[in-house]
Structure 1
Amino acid sequence: MKAELTPMITNYLRTLVCWAKDKPPSSNYHLVIEHLGPIVLGIKPSELLNVSLYDQRIWEEFKTLFSQQEQLRLREIRQINGRQQVIFYHRATLDTVLREKHHQEFLRTFNYPEIYSLNCYLNHVLGKIKSKAFPHEIGIFLGYPLKDVLGFMKQIPLTYVGTHGWRIYGDMQVSGEIYEKYQQARTSRVISDI
């Protein structure tokens, strides 16, 4: 499925692209925006990135600019070697993914709250990251198919079949289709103008 660019989203993406073009190439914000295209379009629920803190002023500008859209949010997690680890997310898309019954059942096996709320689940996964116990279940938050998360965690006996953005287990078709949607959003006409 190809991403639909509404005029509002197109203008917002152009604003992000123009902003990035005005920054030093070493800041790599053009790459950040490319990775965030699927989130801005509401296709991918979230993205976990390490952003350069080379210039704190530029990072502060970007945080403000990114959060101008109602559905887009970010949470700073921790600083590592001059970089800020951040989860960027589309609220409605992430909420839809996390509300899926099979995702909630899976996440509850890792002590996620019985009563769902987007903020509680985000707080839980980010708390695990901060404690340096990397939560592999974050794949659900990132929009990876449950079968691939389970296969990676060796919770079900699926054969590793390849990597396309993440490690894919079992049937490649479903995972491949999801990956292609994300890639199409990353390379949309507006974003590729960077």
Structure 2
Amino acid sequence: MYKEEFLKFYNYIELYDDYNYLIAFLRFLTSPTTSGLKVGTMINICNSKRNLKDVWTRNSANLSKIINLSFIELKIFKNSILVYFFNENLLKNHLKNTEIKEYLINLNYGGKGNLDEYFNILKNNFKILNSCPNEIGVFLGYPLKDVKDFSYKDKKCKLSGYWKCYNDVYTSKIAFKKYDNEKLKIIKNYYEDAM
């Protein structure tokens, strides 16, 4: 059901100019974060059929205000930009968790726990690895056990959705459904505004 509704929405916003398309795209994808269900959302904004990277580059501060989230650009490519959107208060509280702090310290994130320090290290890890570092899951609000288990290639994934679940399938399914429902609310708002 969700997949069909999401595809219909993408077809619906296809009529928009690039700027308004990007607003709709960001509102849709970040809705679990703007609603407070997640601490952050990572989105690759591309120049492909549309010049969304260019639109983002020219309007990032304004777009961030429109969706009411803070952001950091994690990695810039020729035709895309990887952007992390986050709720600053939720993220700060999330990163105060003792187990999460210890996990990040073990990955050389330092013990101060301020966001600027964390983001500098995270961006550097993206650069060094030339891929997505496993700890990004912490910044996206994934369960720490699943973030850790993702590193172990011999651990069997029980469920895949917003993240790979290796442990609590029941709780993960509930979270996935809540995230999808937030996206449906955004879709509904767009349809109602069109009437």
Same fold (TM over 0.5): yes
Query: Which amino acid in structure 2 is aligned with residue 65 of structure 1?
Result: N
Cα deviation for residue 27 of structure 1 reads 5.5
Cα deviation for residue 99 of structure 1 reads 1.1
Cα deviation for residue 100 of structure 1 reads 0.8
TM-score by length of 1: 0.76
Query: Which amino acid in structure 2 is aligned with residue 91 of structure 1?
Result: E
Equivalent residue, structure 2, for 1:3:
none
Equivalent residue, structure 1, for 2:64:
67
SS of 2:65's equivalent in the other structure is coil
Cα deviation for residue 90 of structure 1 reads 0.9
- Alignment pair present for 1:43 and 2:41: no
Cα deviation for residue 75 of structure 1 reads 1.3
> Number of aligned pairs?
174
The partner residue of 2:46 within 42, 52, 61 is 52
SS of 1:68's equivalent in the other structure is helix
- Segments of structure 2 that go 5 or more residues without pairing to the other structure are 1-12, 191-195
Output aligned runs, 1:137-148, within 5 Å: 137-148=135-146
- Segments of structure 1 that go 5 or more residues without pairing to the other structure are 1-18
Equivalent residue, structure 2, for 1:177:
174
Cα RMSD (Å) of the superposition?
3.0
Equivalent residue, structure 1, for 2:90:
93
Contact 1:46–1:89 under 8 Å retained in 2: yes
SS of 2:174's equivalent in the other structure is helix
Contact 1:43–1:93 under 8 Å retained in 2: no
Closer, same or farther in 2 for the Cα pair 1:62/1:176, shift >3 Å?
Answer: farther
Query: Which amino acid in structure 1 is aligned with residue 31 of structure 2?
Result: G
Query: Which amino acid in structure 2 is aligned with residue 147 of structure 1?
Result: K
Equivalent residue, structure 2, for 1:31:
25
SS of 2:133's equivalent in the other structure is coil
Higher RCO, 1 vs 2 (CA within 8 Å, ≥6 residues apart): 1
Separation in 1, partners of 2:53, 2:161:
33
The partner residue of 2:102 within 95, 105, 111 is 105
Separation in 2, partners of 1:39, 1:77:
17
Greater helix share, structure number: 2
Closer, same or farther in 2 for the Cα pair 1:61/1:186, shift >3 Å?
Answer: farther
Contact 2:28–2:187 under 8 Å retained in 1: yes
Summarize deviations over 1:65-93 as a string: whole Å, max 9, x none. 33327962111222224111111111011
Equivalent residue, structure 2, for 1:122:
119
Closer, same or farther in 2 for the Cα pair 1:66/1:43, shift >3 Å?
Answer: farther
Contact 1:160–1:167 under 8 Å retained in 2: yes
Summarize deviations over 1:131-160 as a string: whole Å, max 9, x none. 3253101101111111111111129x8542
Closer, same or farther in 2 for the Cα pair 1:71/1:96, shift >3 Å?
Answer: farther
The partner residue of 2:133 within 132, 135, 139 is 135
SS of 1:87's equivalent in the other structure is strand
Instruction: State the percentage of identical aligned residues.
Output: 24
Separation in 2, partners of 1:58, 1:99:
35
Separation in 1, partners of 2:144, 2:175:
12
Contact 1:21–1:30 under 8 Å retained in 2: no
TM-score by length of 2: 0.75
Cα deviation for residue 174 of structure 1 reads 2.0
Output aligned runs, 1:146-157, within 5 Å: 146-154=144-152
The partner residue of 1:78 within 67, 71, 75 is 75
